[in-house]
Amino acid sequence: MAYEYLEIHADGEPLYRQLYDSLKKAMETGQLRQGVRLPSIRRLSEDLGVSRTTVEAAYQQLCVEGYLKSEPKRGYFVLFGEQPAPADPRRPSLTSAPLTAHFRFNLGTDCADAEAADLRIWRRHVRDILNRREIIVSYGEHQGEPALREALSLYAGRARGVSAGPEEIVVGAGSQPLLYLLCGLAGKRCAAIDEHGFVQAEQVFRDCGIKVIPLPRDENGLRPDALRQSGADLAYVSPSSPVDSGSAMPTSRRFELLRWAQETGGILIEDDYNGELRYRAHPIPAMQGMAGGGCVAYLGSFSKLLLPSVRIGYMVLPPSLLALYQERARNYNQTASKIEQLALAAYIASGQMERRLRRLRKLYAAKSQLMGKCLAAELPERRFTLEETALYFRTPLTPQEAEFLCAKAAEYGVRVRTRENRDGIFAALSFSGIPLADIPEAIRLLGLAWKQGDDRI
């Protein structure tokens, strides 16, 4: 038998690996077709001048991977003998996407200001945990590390007015995984959400088989009358985010939503994204504390408060869902790193988190004020709206503008990202990741790029 498809050399990789690679390639390229019987181990070892162990090792690995099938007293047969269809060259793939270009200024919403990050202190807390070998060699707690839940109970109470003991808090790798868990516990059928929408939350609801009902809002936020008429049994709200009035949802509207939940048995999901980072006025306490925790599931995270790469969020469950969670807790795996959880617990307990919060409020107040002035001066023809807790200015774009203006900004070394909701596409110009001193030059260049772009659209 000819073995033109086999390439075996005395030097280089182990012989069994060379044989494995050659056989696999022959099957994937069609040289060895499905159903073909391969030589016996003894025959191939003699023909190639290699040991039987070498051939057997290669055959066994190919069997494990599903390329070959071993039939007792008959031999080895090819199971896979066709190459997968080539990808459509017209369809872009993740691997063919161009690498991110180098930008002089980053106005993206997905980063934090490295100069303002407590990297030295954070590294110290992580290193301290890594040195505790008896802790890091075991799995974490299903509900989250007790030390972190204890620290979060105190921190959330002081910073956000959240009323929760450690036993009511569930830790996870950010808000979205926790929302999946919450939907499974709630067992609800319809979720009401602000008409402007929140793509990540809507995707979770749909993944969980929950109907999403967009509802209108007024200058105070989600309208309670529309919520009552919708028939929804869940309502997803972000009361600390600015509404049409330009400020957070007023207390009166919060109480109206709480009355809906109390009277209907519905559950309010309060996404308090960056609720403690309000800097133009004192933060309004969370609805969860106003309700005494009874009908509100609270979601909090640290992506912009600490570091975006530290994917830790937490959820406070109302009593009805907490009891159900505790019944099922051992069936859920913890998604957040135990090492990072314990480092965060120490960071909070040492008072660093609240000191950092005070510094960031001052910093973001200065950044937002400066960027607002620069945008008004450089792009006076455009309307910009400050999203305070999201830490960016937004301006609407047409679909034609969106791609072109981002590309023009990139030519000038400025990274800009677009986002989309039911209102349409908008540019989100974030000041979270850019140093304060760089803002004027970044906006000057953006102005030049967009003015040039506007002339060509």
**Sequence ranges of the domains in the chain:** 15-78, 105-114+356-456, 117-354
pLDDT at 15: 87
Cα–Cα distance between 64 and 406 in angstroms, integer?
48
- Identify the pLDDT of residue 100: 46
Instruction: Tell me the fold of 117-354.
Output: Aspartate Aminotransferase; domain 2 (3.40.640)
pLDDT digits (tens, 9 = 90+) for 433-446: 899 999 999 999 99
**Closest CA relative to residue 247, chosen from 255, 239, 258:** 239
Look at residue 247 in the predicted model and tell me its pLDDT.
67
User: What pLDDT is recorded for position 82?
Assistant: 55
CATH topology match: 105-114+356-456 vs 117-354: no
Segment holding 218, helix H or strand E: strand 217-218
Q: Which CATH code fits 105-114+356-456?
A: 3.90.1150.10
- Among residues 309, 360, 348, which one has the least CA distance to residue 169? 348
3-state secondary structure 343-377: HHHHHHHCCHHHHHHHHHHHHHHHHHHHHHHHHHH
Distance CA 75, CA 55 (A): 13
Contacts 24+ apart (CB under 8 A), 161-167: 161/285, 161/286, 161/289, 161/290, 162/286, 162/288, 162/289, 162/298, 162/300, 162/316, 163/288, 163/289, 163/292, 163/293, 164/288, 164/293, 164/298, 164/316, 167/322
Tokens of 10: 């005395």
Q: Which residues of the chain have pLDDT under 70?
A: 1-2, 11, 81-101, 242-247, 280-281, 453-457
Q: Quote the CA–CA distance of 328 and 205 in Å, as a whole number.
A: 20
CA distance 178 to 184: 10
Distance in angstroms (rounded) separating the CA atoms of residues 407 and 227: 41
Q: Pinpoint the alpha helices (H) of 282-418.
A: 287-290, 319-328, 338-349, 352-378, 399-411
Q: Which residues are CB-contacts of 374 (< 8 A; sequence separation ≥ 6)?
A: 439, 440, 443, 444
Angle, vertex CA 235, rays to CA 341 and CA 166, nearest 5: 30
| Positive or negative: CA dihedral 371, 376, 382, 384 | positive
Three-state secondary structure call for residue 2: coil
Instruction: Give pLDDT tens digits for 246-255.
Output: 567 888 999 9
Q: Which CATH class is domain 15-78?
A: mainly alpha
The answer to whether 405 and 449 have CB atoms below 8 angstroms apart is: yes
- pLDDT value at residue 88: 45
Q: What is the pTM of this model?
A: 0.74
